[in-house]
Structure 1
Amino acid sequence: MNRGRPRTFDPDLVLENAMQLFWSRGYEATSLQDLLQATGLSKSSLYESFGNKQNLFEAAFTRYFDSRAELMLASLAEAESPMIFIRDCLLSVLDDARQSQPRGCMLVNVANEFSTGEPAVQALVETATRRMRQVFEQAFAQAQVRGELSRQRSPADLALYMHCAMSGLRTQTKSALSRKDLLTVIEQIMASWS
């Protein structure tokens, strides 16, 4: 029985390149030809390995939020304090704002592009959102234990607020809000924890 040729590509590199492309352009604006060029796959390899464009997109998006959650957890573990970690997360939007064409947050971009129109993607958006909020919740809980933050509000509520604030800031970087204005908002958010 002919089993076909073995894979001659690195699946991690393919997903990384696809993720970067979808993050920059979005799902609809990314053509199959764009994907073939970015990943180095042939059309047959793409279909054999991923099934179709949407399956590749879903795998690339999953890679995005898995890697971001891992990076955030590592940053929290290495941070001088949980509240410094929170401040650094907020300040990270300034890195994107320095780009000539800010990409924003892939999670926010995907949520905006798909809304609730595609159930499989909506489920991934919900999973990604939950994972990000869990990291923030952990940070706020640690901050409360260390006495850096009042125990009056639940870490889950603070994480929800933080996630919404980050989403808004990431969106505003794409609409070219000035660095000065972004810093003003970040200062207001930080002041709200007191």
Structure 2
Amino acid sequence: MKGRPNIFKDNEIILKAQEIFWKKGYSATSLFDLSKATGAGAGTLYNKFKGGKKELFKKSLQQRKEDLNKFKVKLENSDNPIILIKEFFISVATESREHHLRGCIVANTIVEMTFVDDDLENEAIEILKETEKLYTKTILKEQKKGNLKSEIPAGVLGKYLITVWCGINSLRRIYPEKEILRIQIELQLKIIN
């Protein structure tokens, strides 16, 4: 006898689960929360994600990695990738108060999972390191073309942008006001000229 038809698509579940993980973090999110957020029962979740909550969380982080890959393509096809990077950072200021208060799921994971779960912490660290490499590669390319005045080494600037990102994601919780954030982000980006 066949069971109920499987109407849940993995990606839909991952995106819905990501929202609840983003708001509550990994540790505070229960199976009940995931079931309620995704509309999938516990059995469906465990059948689709054999590693349970942890596997679902990892897939939520990987979805952010997919967004990074899309951004990489945009940078590679841009006539002015530095402007694109700056616009990405400045766009954070225009997000809703709710987005400000939840911050970045990747940066949040590093903070939450340090001393708790090395596997999840390292998964998040790897995403930020890949982002740093993307920034570094883009900056170096633009420096070689003469499109950047800054003589600060590209590797230092790549790490600087990750530092700015992590800082912004704390600052936006303290000051979730668009104008304050815009001014602070623009100030930080002046080093990349």
> TM-score, normalising length from structure 1?
0.86
2:61 corresponding residue in structure 1: 61
Q: Within 2, Cα distance between the matches of 1:187 and 1:162?
A: 12
Q: Within 2, Cα distance between the matches of 1:37 and 1:177?
A: 28
Instruction: Find the partner of 1:99 among 92, 97, 110.
Output: 97
2:132 corresponding residue in structure 1: 133
Q: Within 2, Cα distance between the matches of 1:42 and 1:32?
A: 9
Deviation at residue 36 of structure 1 after TM alignment? 0.7
Matched residue of 1:26: which SS? helix
1:172 corresponding residue in structure 2: 171
1:121 corresponding residue in structure 2: 120
1:144 corresponding residue in structure 2: 143
Deviation at residue 76 of structure 1 after TM alignment? 1.4
Aligned-pair identity in percent equals 24
Deviation at residue 78 of structure 1 after TM alignment? 4.4
Q: Within 1, Cα distance between the matches of 2:23 and 2:48?
A: 23
2:11 corresponding residue in structure 1: 12
Deviation at residue 143 of structure 1 after TM alignment? 1.7
Which amino acid counterpart does residue 53 of structure 2 have in structure 1?
A: K
**Bigger share in helix:** 2
Deviation at residue 72 of structure 1 after TM alignment? 1.7
Cα distance per residue 1:38-64 (max 9 Å; x no partner): 222221121222232122112212222
Which amino acid counterpart does residue 52 of structure 2 have in structure 1?
A: N
Q: Within 2, Cα distance between the matches of 1:179 and 1:101?
A: 12
Matched residue of 2:148: which SS? coil
Q: Within 2, Cα distance between the matches of 1:99 and 1:177?
A: 6
Q: Within 2, Cα distance between the matches of 1:104 and 1:151?
A: 29
Q: Aligned pair in 2 of structure 1 residues 79, 24: CA closer, same or farther (>3 Å)?
A: farther
Deviation at residue 33 of structure 1 after TM alignment? 1.1
Deviation at residue 3 of structure 1 after TM alignment? 9.9
The 8 Å contact of residues 108 and 171 in structure 1, kept in 2 or not, is answered as: no
- C-alpha RMSD of matched pairs (Å): 2.4
Q: Within 2, Cα distance between the matches of 1:99 and 1:67?
A: 25
1:88 corresponding residue in structure 2: 87
Cα distance per residue 1:69-128 (max 9 Å; x no partner): 1232133134440220121122021133x3246221111111121123211112202211
